[in-house]
Structure 1
Amino acid sequence: MIEGVRIRLNPWQQAAVALGSAVGALLDPRRADLIAALGETTGKPAFERVLERMKQSPEGRVVLLEKPRVISSEVGHAWDMPANTFGAAYARFMGSRNFSPDDRPPVRFMDTDELAYVAMRAREVHDFWHTLFGLPTNLIGESALKVIEFEQMHLPMALLSVFGGTARFNEKQRTLFFKHYFPWAIRAGMQCTDLMCVYYEKHFHEDLEEVRRKWGIVPAPAALK
């Protein structure tokens, strides 16, 4: 079950929320609630396609059935995993930045429980993807991950985030991004497995490099980090 109150919007209300969220997010990119609202109000068709792909995938079906959540009470054991494991790498990523898995805003604008879960899952696996692709959380790293997210899910919000992020680059960042990060992210997002169909929590105990090979993930070149 996805916590929080869900709000049903008619098309005009949905457009109004999307526009208001877009303006607010441009004015203050730190507003995660506005970014989340924009993603939900513009992303329903994309989330519907992701849902159908998950239903066609054996592992994706288990995710939909069990509905795991990336919250402290369910992923805290990652902090106790051996250093070489995917779980330990995720714990290091979170701990080094003082991030909490409980900080994601709730889903409010999805019509069904299934779509609400898919939207929440997409939001919550974001830090798993940072870990797997070896991307930093600076403006360039986040923009590169949004390219991968667009390749994987075709969410309009991901593409808008790339435009918004690159607009804030200075000249040196823009050159670095478009010369190195952008082409790498396009290739990385296209050649890896369908990442929304992965039950990440069941792979915490596996070696990080092995899961990367298994899922076709090519981390960001070390020189770019």
Structure 2
Amino acid sequence: MDLSGFVRYMESPGDAADNASISRFFQERGVQAQMLEAVMGDDRVASLVAERYAPAPHETDVLLAMPEGSLGRAYARFLEVHHFNPHFFHGVEGESDLAYVLNRLRATHDIWHVLLGFDASEAGECGMNAFTFAQACTPTTCLLMAAKMIRAIPDEPAERRRLLQAIADGINLGLRAPGFLGWRWEEHWSEPLADLRDRLGLRALTPAMAD
């Protein structure tokens, strides 16, 4: 059992290699296959997978030039402000349905951040982990969330409460929001973020930390 990625995550925020290590751990044990079966029950996800939907790579400069308040501009600003690499995650090799779903989840991670209002703090990432686990039964995000909770044990009480609130928000959003995995988000870059949030019913479910 190679749990080295999880161990490193318990000590400090992990990197792409640690994420890949945790994912491989679950793939080798067939847990990822159970996740795939769960998400394929959504017809929109099944259609996306069958088509192997692969939007053209986005150019950050092009997205930044989009109208203020649009999803594309908000996403590009999120990447720019935090100096994030949109290709941070290691791609899963292969042409299987599972490989496609895992890569799609990773490709849209930061888009979901923007839509949901979770920031890039430790608590914000924990909220994202909780949301993704609730929506897609992803075992990797469950383990990452556990590692972050363990790291939070020596933190100040206020920081622990913030992290736990983010987890509660993520679970609530994940259980009540429509399925995110089946959406073709890249076809909505120019749409106002507020309109998309309204269409998804997110205004009434906005996390406590959102703007």
Q: Which residue of 1 aligns with 2:19?
A: 35
Give unmatched runs, 5+ long, in structure 1. 1-15
Of the three residues 116, 125, 137, the one matched with 2:99 is: 116
Q: Which residue of 2 aligns with 1:173?
A: 159
Of the three residues 197, 202, 208, the one matched with 1:221 is: 208
With over 3 angstroms needed to count, the CA separation of the structure-2 counterparts of 1:64 and 1:203, relative to structure 1, is farther
Counterpart check, 1:48 vs 2:36: yes
The Cα of 1:187 is off from its aligned counterpart by 1.3
Counterpart check, 1:140 vs 2:120: no
Of the three residues 40, 59, 65, the one matched with 2:51 is: 65
Q: Which residue of 2 aligns with 1:23?
A: 7
Of the three residues 119, 129, 134, the one matched with 1:151 is: 134
Q: Which residue of 1 aligns with 2:90?
A: 105
Distance 1:97 1:48 in 2: 31
Higher helix share: 1
With over 3 angstroms needed to count, the CA separation of the structure-2 counterparts of 1:160 and 1:82, relative to structure 1, is same
Q: Percent identity?
A: 22
Report if the CA contact (8 A) 1:46-1:153 is conserved: no
With over 3 angstroms needed to count, the CA separation of the structure-2 counterparts of 1:62 and 1:122, relative to structure 1, is closer
The Cα of 1:161 is off from its aligned counterpart by 1.3
SS of the equivalent of 2:14 reads coil
Report the AA paired with residue 216 of structure 1.
G
SS of the equivalent of 1:21 reads helix
Give unmatched runs, 5+ long, in structure 2. none
Of the three residues 198, 204, 207, the one matched with 2:189 is: 204
The Cα of 1:46 is off from its aligned counterpart by 4.1
**Cα offsets for 1:73-100 (capped at 9, x unmatched):** 5x76322211121111111111111222
Distance 2:33 2:76 in 1: 33
CA RMSD of superposed structures (Å): 2.5
Report if the CA contact (8 A) 2:38-2:137 is conserved: no
Counterpart check, 1:80 vs 2:65: yes
Q: Which residue of 2 aligns with 1:131?
A: 114
Distance 2:61 2:136 in 1: 27
TM-score, with length taken from structure 1: 0.78
Aligned residues: 202
